Amino acid sequence: MRIAAPGAQTPAAASARLAVKVPEITALFWVVKILTTGMGETFSDFLVSHLNPGLALGSGAIALTVALSAQFRSDRYRLWIYWSAVTMVAVFGTMVADALVFLVGIPYLVATVGFSIVLAVIFVWWHAREKTLAVHSITTARRERFYWTMVMTTFALGTVAGDLTADLLHLGYLGSIVVFAIAIAVPAAAHRWAGLGTVTAFWSAYIITRPLGASLTDWLSSSRQDGLNLGTGWISLGATIAIVALLGLLTTRGVEPAAGLRSDSGRPAEADGSL
């Protein structure tokens, strides 16, 4: 029997530590991401309108805790576990943002600026500690905590930002969709033709997916004059079916990110996500 030297990692332990915990960034990633943001928006509204708001918020918090616990306990990226966590972040993040606006009474503009500041602090702190924000550098527990804190904040920010453009700026849901669709195309174009860095382009687009998806499903479901009044329940169900179908497609393709590799210096080699 071979005994590892004191303090040395076994191959299994090293593999687990270096396993990437996020998916490959492909076109399907962006489609599923936008669908989860939209579904989180309408399903949150559905729950709050059909349940006691306190019960809805508590149930969302429990479901989020279970989903994130499964994600953190996983030894590597697991498609269904990861996207379940993203979906629950979408639902609960919407509830938190709506509670601050409608129950606490924080104005849309103040909430948008506040969440933007929190997001900036997370990015600065993350980079100061880890020296990288590359999506496929999520290979340690600390980086994963930074990642999911950032994800939760982007969902809350996107919720109030979408409502800000639709209501306070009087763009309506359809106008907001156009604005955010243009906004999300900017980092992609800048990355392709203007030399914008991969990491900056990725996170810029990632943040915008939230208000884009939320504005889209709000437009489809809302009974307001600028909505199609298809109902939050039906739109949530339709988005869920589409998400499950696309994840099933990814499962059949066997799409998994490559495990992190050690560089010659012994530090994990970084692999940036791309648009």
pLDDT digits (tens, 9 = 90+) for 141-171: 999 999 999 999 998 898 899 999 999 899 9
pLDDT at residue 206, as a whole number: 95
Cα(63)–Cα(258) distance, rounded to whole angstroms?
29
- Which are the contacts of 105, defined by CB distance < 8 A and separation ≥ 6? none
The amino acid at residue 33 is: K
Residue count of the chain: 275
Cα(93)–Cα(115) distance, rounded to whole angstroms?
12
CA distances from 2 to 10, 17, 161 (A): 10, 21, 57
pLDDT at residue 75, as a whole number: 87
Cα(219)–Cα(95) distance, rounded to whole angstroms?
18
pLDDT at residue 15, as a whole number: 39
Query: Which range is least confidently modeled, 9-13, 82-86, 110-114, 201-205?
Result: 9-13
Beta bridge partners of residue 262, listed in sequence order: 268
Q: Token pair 């918090």 is at which residue?
A: 61
Q: Look up the pTM and report it.
A: 0.85
The amino acid at residue 35 is: L
Measured N-to-C along each axis, helices 141-163 and 108-130 cross at an angle, to the nearest 10 degrees, of: 160
- For residues 242-250, average pLDDT: 95
The amino acid at residue 126 is: W
CB 153 within 8 A of CB 35: no
Q: Say which residue, 98 or 180, is predicted with more confidence.
A: 180
pLDDT at 113 over 50: yes
**How buried is 94 (Cβ within 10 angstroms: 0-12 exposed, 13-18 middle, 19+ buried)?**
buried
pLDDT at residue 85, as a whole number: 97
- Which are the contacts of 164, defined by CB distance < 8 A and separation ≥ 6? 108, 109, 112
Among 158, 174, 157, smallest CA distance to 166 is for 174
Q: Residues 187-202: pLDDT tens digits?
A: 999 999 999 999 999 9
* pLDDT range class, residue 53, cuts 50, 70, 90: confident
pLDDT at residue 176, as a whole number: 96
pLDDT at residue 275, as a whole number: 42
pLDDT at residue 264, as a whole number: 31
Q: Say which residue, 53 or 1, is predicted with more confidence.
A: 53
pLDDT at residue 2, as a whole number: 35
pLDDT at residue 3, as a whole number: 35
pLDDT at residue 70, as a whole number: 97
CB atoms within 10 A of CB 107: 13
Measured N-to-C along each axis, helices 27-50 and 232-253 cross at an angle, to the nearest 10 degrees, of: 150
